[in-house]
Amino acid sequence: MAQFPWSDPRQAYQQGLVQGHTQAAQQFQHQLGQAVEEVKAEFSQALNRTAGGLRKESRDQVDRTAAQVDQRLSDLAKVSEALVATRTGACGEKDPGTIRVENIPGRRVPYVALVEIPIQSNDTSVREQSWTISQDGPFVATRRWATFLSSFEYQITDVQTGNRAKFPGRSYGRYRPPHSAADIMDGKFDANVAALWYLFAYGLTAPAAGSPMTAASLALPSNASSFRSMEFDGRIALESAGASFPRQNKAIPSAWWAQDNNGPVELGALDVFERGEVITWKVQPNHVNNPPAGNAHGAYIFPNAAATVDGFPFLDGQFDPHEGVCTPNGVIIGPAGGWDFVPVADDPVVRLPDGYLILAYEGYRIIQPPGLVL
Amino acid sequence: MRGEAVYDPMSVTQQKSESGMVVDTGGELLQKFIHPGIDTFERVFQSLPEEGMFQPGLSPTNPFQFTVGSYTVPQSMTLWLEDYETAVLLPDPINAGDYRFAEDGRFSGNLGFDLTVADGRSANITYQLDPVPISAARQEFETVVVTPGNARTPPVTARFNRALAMSFGSAAGSGSSLQPPRRRPAGPRSRSFTWQIHENQTITVRCVVFRRVLTPLSGIYAMLGGHLMHRNIATALQNRTKTI
């Protein structure tokens, strides 16, 4: 049986007190939690509002910047487009970037660009000639060549009649090496001829001690040049007008323009000359053609004492054995006969050792027809 | 960007010079100013006469030659030779022991000068020191290029005459580049003259007497003038000029 709580007033009071406290505490807790929740909600809303605003602002800023960059890129692209020559057709690319020689459109035609530079007798200073790249297209050089064309001629005046006759030398019209470095005749003249001459001279009548040689031979080694006739030696420079790229503008020896006697020399790289450029070869001879150097002449071989000048052979004649030049009646036998040689005093031969240095750049032209390039 | 004025220095310069509104400080003084980094260069060489100049046996094929003077450009330097002159010195008739310059061109039938840089002559020059017989055929119509072919045209006699007359310097090695004694450099007188001589290269003035001198001489004279500078300066200056 249930006992009534108020049966005991103290107990009832106590119980009522506890119950009242509990209810108040519960109500208070409920209200506090509600307030916290409200604050949370408010904060969250405020935060969301702020974050949302920031996000929007950032996005707008980025969008604006991107739009500006886009605009500038677009401007730049327009400028670039205006600067770039647009290729159409097979090549297709708008911006070709670095063009390799292989990519230059046009038909390849092997070609040798060459000049013939006259090197006349006694020339020792710079001579030049130019070649203009055709408007048909660029020229690509791969190798260089050089050779020397002799046009050696001579004229003989008859001492008695005064008649003149002209002859080409043996080297006339022949191609010669453009340098002496590979000269097969260098120092090779017959030493045995000199020995024979000595034997011959001393074998007949021994000259008195201290007396000069009484006679000589035209075959004396000192009477002929040991170098090949009409060989060229010089320095060659190459300049290009119309281009901002300097070429071989410092002269190099002609010996480096030919391998061995006449071989081509590979260039260090393909040399591309644009249309309209002007290649100029400048040549400076090291010596006159067929230089009459040395002191081997008639003064020491056939001294013409009576005329007090140098007799035959003459200094200019040291290439005569090679060229087939002969001085008519250069030496006649004097009244004493035997070894009494009387050489002519004046040289009846005038030599004209003209030549043409031929310089070439070997390579190919890239023929590009005017207008549309395919 | 559109519509903005484009800065064009050339147009500004032209405007200034055309209107004459701007005068550089110092006027035109600066154009002739030589920076202290560039040294003034001059050498005068004088040689006493030698017996060899007067010997009877002298001829174009048996010349007498000697070096009047030479200069080797020091390491790392470059010489711009802008002037030179050569002359023959004669005894002064009034002031004993002194000398005077022979007139320009005098003795050019006896001797000449050869200027070489590293044994080269960097110019297109030809001098006929020996007078040449007149051509019977007009020289301008003589065949120059001889092309070997079927028909060979022998050169006219005048060409042989010229070759013979111009052989005065061949035995000496200078050929037709032998210059007459005169007090000015090669080339046009109204224009500047410059030979660039690089480091370690030697410029040499040689005298070639190819015919006997019959006059008493006091000496042989040669002068070189120019500017000496470090090769980097020379290169920098040269790079300011542009090939055509």
HSE-up of residue A329 (Cα within 13 Å, Cβ side): 12
Suggest the residue from B143, B162, B170 to mutate for an interface test with chain A (most A CBs closer than 10 A): B170
For residue B29, the model assigns a pLDDT of 82
Domain that holds residue B64: 35-140+157-239
Closest residue, chain A, to B64 (C-alpha): A295
Residue A133: count other Cβ atoms within 10 Å of its Cβ: 21
How far apart are the C-alpha atoms of A284 and A235, rounded to whole Å?
A: 5
Residue B188 lies in a domain: yes
Beta strands A349-352 and A331-333: pairing type? unpaired
Residue B218 lies in a domain: yes
Record the tokens describing residue A210, joined without a space: 């201290």
Please indicate whether, in this complex, the C-beta atoms of B125 and A125 are within 8 angstroms of each other. Answer: yes
Cβ-in-10-Å burial (0-12, 13-18, 19+) of B111 comes to buried
Residue A155: count other Cβ atoms within 10 Å of its Cβ: 21
How far apart are the C-alpha atoms of A83 and A155, rounded to whole Å?
A: 65
Residue B128 lies in a domain: yes
Residue B19: pLDDT band (50, 70, 90) is low
Q: Each residue's pLDDT tens digit in chain A (374 positions)?
A: 455 555 677 787 788 788 877 888 888 888 888 888 998 999 889 888 888 888 888 889 999 999 999 998 888 888 877 766 555 544 555 555 677 888 888 999 999 999 999 999 999 999 999 999 998 899 999 999 999 999 999 999 988 888 988 899 999 989 999 999 988 776 665 555 655 665 666 566 655 666 555 444 554 555 678 788 999 999 999 988 877 777 888 899 999 999 988 899 999 999 999 988 999 999 999 999 999 887 777 777 776 666 666 778 788 888 888 898 988 888 777 787 766 777 888 889 999 999 999 999 999 999 987 665 54
pTM: 0.73
How far apart are the C-alpha atoms of A125 and A306, rounded to whole Å?
A: 39
Residue A87: count other Cβ atoms within 10 Å of its Cβ: 14
For residue B3, the model assigns a pLDDT of 46
Q: Is the pLDDT of residue B13 over 50?
A: no
Contacts of B124 in chain A (CB under 8 A): 125-128
pLDDT tens profile B147-187: 555 456 778 888 898 999 998 988 888 999 999 999 999 99
ipTM of the complex: 0.78
Please indicate whether, in this complex, the C-beta atoms of A124 and B243 are within 8 angstroms of each other. Answer: no
Q: Is the pLDDT of residue B219 over 80?
A: yes
Angle at A302 between CA A299 and CA A306, to 5 degrees: 80
Residue B13 lies in a domain: no
Distance of CA B135 to the CA centre of its chain: 28
Number of domains chain B is built from = 1
Helix (H) or strand (E) holding B235, with range, is helix B231-239
Q: What residue segments make up the domains of chain A, in order of their start?
A: 104-189+224-288+353-367
For residue A308, the model assigns a pLDDT of 65
CATH 1.10.760 fits A104-189+224-288+353-367, yes or no: no
Record the tokens describing residue A26, joined without a space: 């519960």
Residue B130 lies in a domain: yes
Please indicate whether, in this complex, the C-beta atoms of A350 and B124 are within 8 angstroms of each other. Answer: no
Suggest the residue from A122, A150, A230, A352 to mutate for an interface test with chain B (most B CBs closer than 10 A): A122
Residue A281: count other Cβ atoms within 10 Å of its Cβ: 25
Contact A255, A144 (CB under 8 A): no
Residue B22 lies in a domain: no
Average pLDDT over residues B10-31: 63
Distance from CA of A224 to the nearest CA of B (A): 15
Residue with tokens 């420079």: A237
Of A32, A125, A117, the C-alpha closest to A358 is A117
pLDDT tens profile A76-92: 888 877 766 555 544 55
Please indicate whether, in this complex, the C-beta atoms of A246 and B157 are within 8 angstroms of each other. Answer: no
How far apart are the C-alpha atoms of B78 and B239, rounded to whole Å?
A: 14
Residue B166 lies in a domain: yes
